[in-house]
Amino acid sequence: MLSLWAAGCALLLAFVLAADALPAQSPTAAPETAARNLLAPSPSTTTGPIVTTNAVTAPLGYVLSANDQVAVEVFGEDDLRTNGRLNGEGNLSLPLLGSVHLSGLTLTQATARVTELYARDYLVNPKVNVMLVSYAKRRFTVLGQVNRPGSFEMPDGSPEGIDLLEAVAMAGGYTRIAAPERITVRRHGAKGDEMLKVDGKKLARGTGSGNTNFKVLPGDTITVGESIF
C-alpha cells in the first residue's frame, strides 16, 4: 500500500516538473500591435471641409465693376461666406447685410466697406477679405482692314486694356490693302463718344507723339483704314 502511494506521489511530481519545464509563450502579439499602431496614419484633426476660392490676381488698384465675380469671406463665420457676381447696378447680396454697392471700389476699399457694415450691427472686430474670382466680360471691336473683324474679349490678364497692336493681332492682323497709319478708335467717354486717330506704323516703330503706348479699352471700336493707291 505504501509503495502505491509513493508511486502516485512520484507520478504527480513528474507532471509538475514537466509543466514547469515547458517554454513560456512569447508575447509577440503586443509588440506587433504596437508596431502596426506606429505605422498607421494618425486620424485627421480637421474639423470640417476645407473650402478654397480660386481668386485671380487683380492689377494693383483694380476697380470693381458690374458683373465682376467676387468672393467675400469672414474669418470664423462660414455662414457669411459669399461667392457671386455684382449685378448690373454694381451691387452684391451679402448675408445679414442685403444688397451692398461695391462697384467703383478697389478690393481694399470693398473689404473696408464690408468690414464696416458687419461691425456696425452684427460682429465684433470682424476679419473680412474680398477677393476677385473672375472679371466681367469686357469686349472691344475691330473693323476694317483686318483678317478676322469682329468683337473680342479682353484677355483675363489685361481686363483694363491691351495694346493696340495686340488687339489687331487678335483680329488676325492687317490685310494686304490695310493702311496701318490710318486707324481710328471710337471710345465712349463721360461726355459722349470721341474719335481718336492712331498711326499704327509709328506705334509699331515706337515713334510718334502720344502713340508709343496706345491702350485699347473695353468698349472701344477700332477701324483700320484702307490704302489709297
pTM: 0.53
The three three-digit cell numbers of residue 201, written as one number: 506704323
Does domain 139-226 fall under CATH 3.10.560.10? My reply is yes
Q: Is 68 exposed, middle or buried (0-12, 13-18, 19+ CB in 10 A)?
A: buried
The three three-digit cell numbers of residue 166, written as one number: 495686340
Q: Evaluate whether 172 touches 144 at the Cβ level (below 8 Å).
A: no
DSSP state of 222: E
The three three-digit cell numbers of residue 148, written as one number: 478676322
Q: Where are the domains of the chain?
A: 69-134, 139-226
Per-residue pLDDT of the chain (229 residues), as tens digits, is 545 555 555 555 555 555 555 554 444 444 444 444 434 444 433 333 334 456 778 788 889 988 899 999 999 999 999 999 999 899 999 999 999 999 999 999 999 999 999 999 999 999 999 999 988 878 899 999 999 999 998 887 776 789 999 999 999 999 999 999 999 999 987 678 899 999 998 888 876 555 467 899 888 999 999 988 6
According to CATH, the topology of domain 69-134 is wza like fold (3.30.1950)
| Cα end-to-end span (Å), the chain | 147
